[in-house]
A and B are shown apart, each in its own frame.
Chain A
Amino acid sequence: MSATVMIVDDSLFMRNILCGILKGQGFQIIAEAASGIEAVKHLHELKPDIIVLDIILPDANGLDLLVSILETNPLTKVVICSAIGQEPVTQKAFDLGATAFICKPITPESVIEVFSGLEG
């Protein structure tokens, strides 16, 4: 069975693009969230295998959300997807337990590369 994915980004535009790329790779998009609170709600109900998480959200910081996701669901793979791609931020994300980091602007190649590394 293909891995299930939740996309958390406040931009519908970004979610649609990510969704398009990932579906093309056979992933199953089971939820989208535009805010931290929606993400948490879907997380408990649907328990996705992989979460794509933006850092700047209207109501939350993605890195804080990363910590709380891993506290309750330690097996979830969290891929941070952000335009804040400076070294200290990526390093912090990995230190907090992120599985991968995709730097915006996204390209299909960068997304596919990261996601192919997640499987197995």
Chain B
Amino acid sequence: MDLSPYRDLFLSESQGHIKSSNELIVKLESHSADKSIVDELFRHAHSLKGMAATMQFQPLAALAHAMEDLLSKVRSGELTIESALIDLLLEGNDALSLMISIIESGKDQLSDNPALISRLTEFSPASQSITQATAPPDSAPSAIETPAQTGSQPGVFRHSDSFKNIRIRTEVLDRLVNITGELITTRHQLADQARLFPQKLNEPLNRLTLLLRDLRDEVLQARMLPFTFVSERLPRLVRDLARQQGKEIAFHIEGTEIELDRGILEEIAEPLVHILRNAVDHGMERPAQRVADGKPANGMISICVTRDKDHVNVVISDDGRGMNSGLIIQKAIEKGLISSAQAASLTPQEALMLICAPGFSTAATVTDISGRGVGMDAVRSSLHNLGGNLSIESVPGQGSTFTLRLPITVSIINALLVECGKLVIAFPVNAVDRALELAPKDIQEVDGQRFCALDAISVPLKSLNQLLGQPTAKTRAACIPTIVTRAGGFPIGLVTDRILGQHEIFIKPLGPPLSSMLPLTGGAILGDGRIIFVIDATMLVGKNMGGNYCSPNPHCA
């Protein structure tokens, strides 16, 4: 029988089993009394075994069979749940996952893993002392158990593959969004022409507008995925990091059912991991330290996802050591990131945001886990590219909270359009603090750098025309159009020729060579056919707050 038509479905379904198992194994560690978790794990291993055997992937079937055996011993009560068992289950699941990715890569020649299979089938409480010897000391799992909550839920049905659902390739959805965007642009063009024949065209044009709006909403809805898409591997990540470092951390996620555009989820996957790594690595104290500080030995990290109108907030909190804004300011001055004068005007929140400045690291030591402090800068710029933003709160000794505010969809955004020389430039509205017209008297000049005062803060000014290599207006107007945005976390005023106003635009990714020009994050076409560019202010202005505002990008020179 030719099995190749079933191969894709085999891959996606078996990857689903692996993902769910991974989550369940980690959950099992802290909910060891919940029998339904073991039952479900058993079912995943069992299904995977049957599928693998049907596809004639014998080594995969054999390994899944060994997992199933081990789980049936847990189910019968022969084995109790302990960290060595959890480690082995995770290892087995990883090995299964590896085999599936080998199959996916087109190499159907799998090799058996007899060593792992015998460890799975021969695992007994006696063999546990050997396994544990390799684990770091002090790393017993945090078995925070609330017996009242661990009752099983036998009545829960899973409608994983119902008749009403079909699988669709994500590229198809991307093409649909693209076509919808083109349709919206075409409608704008049509509307421009229709002014000549208002009687005949107004009514169908209005209907077209409504239909296009519905189409856009439906198409964007089809790209939505639940937050679980990026969060399911996080419990495992936190657990492994905590064990590596001998820390004890309970990790909770709430609101994983909330949906976001696939593109946004993909973009925030890395930043989330980075923030969590920082929390475990730098934020969380060791148990002994926590007890000495009068805190519970087990630390807590949580992610809470909530919907707020057309935004989603992702709040990552820990109850670790927190951050000291005074020390952060001191360090930023030492590193030459800000001047003492700038430091004096910072609010505590702004001071915390300094950790997002490039080259800033709050950790006393550099570890292999969180890298060298280049990450928060990348986190912040990823969020800005999405039209979202990051805020940080922290209380020394009590913990830190990172709030990621994200738009729900990314392709169609509200943008502030400005005219700059021959170009029309768009800034995502979320990235713009203010749009204003300055009078010449509002502007002061210090050492060749112009500033304006806004809410008692001096905001450095830069000419957008110069940054983009556009001619600057010869005559100085009485009103100087300026938009205030942020670069590297600091306000910056960009002086331009004219502020055109707010528009809903459909952003398209740029192809090469434009895609390699860093400040350009996308393009869009206006109703009149003009092409506009979406710009990231941080990348345009440069991240250095020391006064070096030269174009950082050789392509722009």
> Do A11 and B50 have beta carbons less than 8 Å apart?
yes
Q: Known contacts A16-B6, A58-B158, A59-B157: does B13 contact A104 (CB below 8 Å)? A: no
Residue A32 contacts which of B13, B54, B159, B163 (CB distance < 8 angstroms)?
B163
Could you tell me the distance between the alpha carbons of A10 and B160 in the complex, rounded to whole angstroms? 8
Asked whether, in the complex, the Cβ of A12 is within 8 Å of the Cβ of B161, the reply is: yes
Q: Is A114 an interface residue (CB 8 A)?
A: no
- Rounded to whole angstroms, the CA-CA distance of A24 and B378 in the bound complex is 55
**Cβ-defined contact, A34 with B160, below 8 A:** yes
Please tell me if the beta carbons of B47 and A11 are within 8 angstroms of each other in the complex. Answer: yes
Cβ < 8 Å to A, chain B residues 375-430: none
Instruction: Knowing A10-B47, A83-B50, say if A16 contacts B157 (CB, 8 Å).
Output: no
Docked pose: A31 CA to B164 CA in angstroms: 12
**A83–B53 CB distance below 8 A:** yes
Query: Is B216 part of the contact surface with A, judged by Cβ < 8 Å?
Result: no
B 1-22 contacts with A by CB, 8 A: 1, 3, 5-6, 9-10, 13
Q: Is B462 an interface residue (CB 8 A)?
A: no
Does A35 lie within 8 Å of B159, measured CB to CB?
Answer: yes
- Residues of the A chain whose Cβ atoms lie less than 8 Å from the Cβ of B3: 17
Task: Name the residue of chain A whose CB is nearest to the CB of B13.
Answer: A13
CB distance from B60 to the nearest CB of A (A): 12
Complex-state Cα separation, A97 to B300, whole angstroms = 54
Residues of A within 8 A of B156 (CB): 59
Is there an interface contact between A105 and B53, defined as CB atoms closer than 8 Å? yes
Interface residues of B in 156-198 (CB under 8 A from A): 156-163
The reply to whether the CB of A108 lies closer than 8 angstroms to some CB of chain B is yes
With A13-B9, A56-B47 already in contact, the answer to whether A105 and B54 are too (CB < 8 A) is yes
The residue of chain B having its C-beta at the shortest distance from the C-beta of A36 within the complex is B157
Interface residues on B, range: 20 to 34
User: Once bound together, how far apart are the Cα atoms of A13 and B3, in whole Å?
Assistant: 11
Flag whether A37 is at the interface (Cβ < 8 A).
yes
- Whether a CB of chain A sits under 8 angstroms from the CB of B51 is yes
- Identify B46's interface contact among A16, A56, A107, CB under 8 A: A56
What's the minimum C-beta distance from B48 to chain A, rounded to whole angstroms?
Answer: 9
Report if A38 contacts B (CB, 8 A).
yes
B450 at the interface (CB under 8 A from A): no
A106 at the interface (CB under 8 A from B): yes
Query: Which single member of A17, A37, A38 contacts B54 (CB below 8 Å)?
Result: A17
Residue A14 lies at the interface, judged by CB distance under 8 Å to chain B: yes
B159 engages A83 (CB within 8 Å): no
A-B contact count (CB 8 A): 69
Residue of A16, A35, A56, A108 near B1 (CB, 8 A) is A108
Asked, given contacts A104-B50, A105-B54, whether A13 binds B10 with beta carbons under 8 Å apart, the answer is yes
CB-CB under 8 A for A58 and B157, given A13-B10, A108-B1? yes
In whole angstroms, how far apart are the Cα atoms of A28 and B146 in the complex?
A: 51
- With a CB–CB cut-off of 8 A, which chain B residues contact A31? 163
User: Which residues of B are found within 8 Å of A11, using beta-carbon distances?
Assistant: 13, 47, 50-51, 161
Residues A14 and B54 in contact, CB atoms below 8 Å apart:
yes
Q: Is the CB of A13 within 8 A of B51?
A: yes
Cβ of B162 and Cβ of A17 under 8 Å apart? Answer: no
- B543: Cβ under 8 A from any A Cβ: no
Chain A 56-94 interface residues, beta-carbon cutoff 8 Å to B: 56, 58-59, 83
Q: How far is the CB of B121 from chain A (nearest CB, A)?
A: 17
Alpha-carbon distance A10/B47, docked complex (angstroms): 9
| Contact pattern, B 22-44, Cβ under 8 Å of A = 1, otherwise 0 | 00000000000000000000010
Which of A20, A21, A35, A56 is the one whose CB lies under 8 Å from B157? Answer: A35
The answer to whether A10 and B161 have CB atoms under 8 Å apart is yes
Which residues of chain A from 23 to 62 have any CB-CB distance to chain B below 8 Å in the complex? 31-32, 34-35, 37-38, 56, 58-59
Q: Are A56 and B43 in contact (CB under 8 A)?
A: yes
Interface assignment of B49: CB less than 8 Å from any CB of chain A: yes
Which A residues are CB-close (under 8 A) to B10? 13
Q: Name the B residues within 8 Å of A59 (CB-CB).
A: 155-158
Chain B contact residues, CB within 8 Å of chain A: 1, 3, 5-6, 9-10, 13, 43, 46-47, 49-51, 53-54, 56, 61, 155-163
Closest 4 CB pairs of A and B: A105-B53, A12-B161, A105-B54, A83-B50
Contact sample, A vs B, 27 pairs, CB 8 Å cutoff? A10-B158, A10-B160, A11-B13, A13-B13, A13-B51, A14-B51, A14-B54, A16-B9, A17-B54, A21-B1, A31-B163, A34-B159, A34-B160, A34-B161, A34-B162, A35-B157, A35-B158, A38-B159, A56-B43, A56-B46, A59-B155, A83-B46, A83-B49, A104-B53, A105-B50, A106-B54, A107-B1
Instruction: Given contact pairs A17-B54, A38-B159, enumerate 6 new A-B contacts (beta carbons under 8 Å).
Output: A10-B160, A14-B50, A17-B6, A31-B163, A34-B160, A56-B47
